[in-house]
Structure formats: structure tokens, C-alpha cells
Structure 1
Amino acid sequence: MPSWNSRGLRGSTLEELINLTNEKYRSNKLALIQKIPTPIKPINIDKDNRHITLAYFEQKSTVDYIGSVQGIPVCFDAKETATSTFPLQNIHGHQIEFMKEFEEQGGISFVLIYFSAKDVFYYLTFQNLYEFWNRAMNGGRKSFKFEELDPYYQISTHNGVFVHYLELLNSDLENRQEK
């Protein structure tokens, strides 16, 4: 079982920026997106400070965020990589399956990736993720390179929104309707 405190603060800055973005979207009545907590089972609790010092994940998580954008159900995961390559082992099979089923129910799934070496936020459509995933499952490359991504889906920061993904979500929707 993975330990709750073994991952350090990896991804916490990205999640905080996404949380701030989602709060801005909520206050402007553009979207209602919630962070989904991963259920943990505390093992050790510091009784003096009432802090959990060791815990284990009780079950596999699905995605980091779920909600609605102007009536459209969305779910997405947030990932970070320090290189210009994204290892697909950072996404688990049960997450792919959940996002696939979410899409089959009429929702939109995607992944927000922060390439910290390039200081670039990226909106990865589920279709592209699924293509990379299938390539890996069929014996191909187990990661994808930043250079393989469509530069159009790089996320810009503006209007006080740090990870402004709604514009790219709209483009994702438009591209789906054209197909």
C-alpha cells in the first residue's frame, strides 16, 4: 500500500494554482469544479498536535477534479513533470478507464500538465491521452514528448487566472463537434 506521506509536496503548487483558478471560475459563475480528496486511513496520529503522521490510501483515486462547466460535466487530473517528457506511468489504468467511461456518459475528460522545466501548462485532451496510452499498451513508447503535443493547447495565464483552461476546453468541445 502506498504511504500518504511518501510523495512529499509533489504537484501541490500546481494543484494550488488550479484551486485558485477554479475559485475564480466559481466566483464568476463560469464553472463549479471541486477537488476530489483521496480517502486515507490514518495509522499514526500525533495526539498532542492532532496531526496525522502516517496514513495509507484506502482506495484507488479516480481523478483530481470533477464538476460542471456551463452545464457540461467535466473531470480532469493534474500532473507535473520536471522534464520535457511525460511518463505514462504517472497515470493509472483505473484513471484511464474512469475518464473513458465519463466520456461515454457525455462528459469531457482531460489532463492538465505542468512542464516545470519549460514553465508551460498544457491541456491534454482525453483523445490524445488515449492515443498515447494505447501506443504504450501496444508495445510502443511508455511516455510522450512535449514536442509531440499540439502547441495550440498550451495554457496561457491572463485576467488573474493562473491556469486558464476553459478556453481550451471550449476548443476541445468544438473539435469534437467537427468530427
Structure 2
Amino acid sequence: MGTWNSRGLRGSTLEDLINHTNESYREKGLALIQKIPTPITPIEIDKQNRHITLAYFDQKSTVDYIGAVQGIPVCFDAKECAASTFPLQNIHPHQMQFMREFERQGGIAFIILSYTARDEIFYLPLAEIEEFWKRMEDGGRKSFTYDEVDKRFRVRGCRDMLVHYLEQIQMDLDGREEADGSKND
């Protein structure tokens, strides 16, 4: 199992790596995940080069990706962090609300977070993000640290799946089933 650095993609953004992975998932019939474009309204257009030179965002975007994995609806956002501390202000309240509503409809919501200085990527289940969010709302830290992230959810690359997050989705699902099973006992 190699890392994405060994594949000559050093410097690629997290979204580029995820897009490549999602294409591999699609080709293999494992998942169908689409990048959601941010809606914009052009203000100025360079007619000669046919480029938008000035625009504004139409509305608050929800998450970066949405789709299905083996019949399970998924949505997630991709975030990058250069430091060991991730500010929760980088996750907007409307994004949290969308992810909560998505899960109420039977889907799985999460964040893929890259600690760029460490070359490590993690899958953060919504339940984990909710804990950090509640702590902030209760007057606690407005961030969480690398040390607080569940290391079992580290995402690794595998062949042409550079951010191979399907195993972490399965771990998330297994954890939910265990939690539901213990509630029913």
C-alpha cells in the first residue's frame, strides 16, 4: 500500500486527490460520488477570452461531495489544515445543519480532513464533529486538535484510490450498528 506522495502528486489539493479516487470508485462500480459545484453569478466576463473575471457566490454551499456507496447515500466536505489545530469556524453552521438533515434521511455525513504538514488524512464521522461542535456551543474550545481525532479513521491510499475512504465508511456503519444494538439490549 503506497501513499499518494509516491505517485508524483505531491502538491495536489485534497479535492484533486478525492476527485481522482471518486473516478476510480466509479470505474470499478464501488461508488458514485459527485463534486458539487459552488453556484456563482458572473459580474464581469472577458468576452475575448470567454473567462469570468468577477463573480459572487449565489448561495451558501452545503457540502463538497454527494453520492451513493453501494446503495448508501453519502455526503461530505473536504477540509485541509496546515496546523495541528482545526478551527471549527471552517465548518459553517449551514453545513452542519445540512449534514444533520442528511443523516436524518438515512444517509452518512462526514468530513475528510487533511493535516497537510503531517501528510495524514482522516475521516471524521458526523458524530465526532458533533462532539466538538457541542463543546464549542457550550463555551469550550472553538477548535479541535490532531490528538483528539480518532486515529482508527486514518485514510490511506491504495493503488489508484489516493484517498481510499470506503473502509472508514464501513467502520462508521459498523460503529452505528454496535451503538444501535447496545440501545436495543
Structure number with greater CO (CA < 8 Å, separation at least 6) is 2
TM-score (norm 1): 0.92
- Measured in 2, the distance between the counterparts of 1:29 and 1:91 equals 31
Q: Indicate yes or no: 2:105 matched with 1:105.
A: yes
Q: Does 1:62 align with 2:56?
A: no
- Distance in 2 between residues matched to 1:142 and 1:40, nearest whole Å: 30
Q: Does 1:123 align with 2:108?
A: no
Structure that is richer in helix per residue: 2
Residue 48 of structure 2 is aligned to residue 48 of structure 1: yes
Distance in 2, matches of 1:127 and 1:85, equals: 19
Gaps of 5+ in 2: 1-10, 180-185
- Higher mean C-alpha deviation, range 155-164 or range 116-125: 155-164
Higher CA-based Rg: 2
Structure 1 residue 106, shift from structure 2 partner: 0.5
Question: CA 1:26/1:71 → structure 2, altered by over 3 Å: closer, same or farther?
Answer: same
Residue matched to 1:173: 173
- In structure 2, how many angstroms separate the alpha carbons of the residues matched to 1:36 and 1:163? 18
How far the C-alpha of 1:44 sits from its partner, in A, is: 1.3
Rate the CA distance shift 1:15–1:157 in 2: closer, same or farther, 3 A: same
- Partner SS state of residue 158, structure 2: coil
After superposition, the C-alpha distances for 1:83-111 in whole angstroms (9 at most, x for unaligned) are 11111000100000000000011000000
Letter in 1 for 2:121: F
Identity of aligned residues (%): 63
Task: Name the aligned partner's letter for residue 85 of structure 2.
Answer: T
Q: What TM-score comes out, normalization by structure 2 length?
A: 0.89
Q: Report the aligned-residue RMSD.
A: 1.1
Q: Which runs of 5+ in 1 are unaligned?
A: 1-10
Once residues 109 and 55 of structure 2 are traced to their aligned partners in structure 1, the CA distance between those partners, rounded to angstroms, is 29
Query: Stretches of 4+ moved more than 2 A in 1?
Result: none
When the two structures are aligned, how many residues end up with a matched partner?
169
Determine whether 1:16 maps to 2:16: yes
SS of residue matched to 1:162: strand
Cα drift, residue 12 of structure 1 = 7.0
Partners in 1 of 2:130 and 2:43 — Cα distance?
36
The amino acid of 2:26's aligned partner reads R
Structure 2 CA distance for aligned equivalents of residues 175 and 159 of structure 1:
27
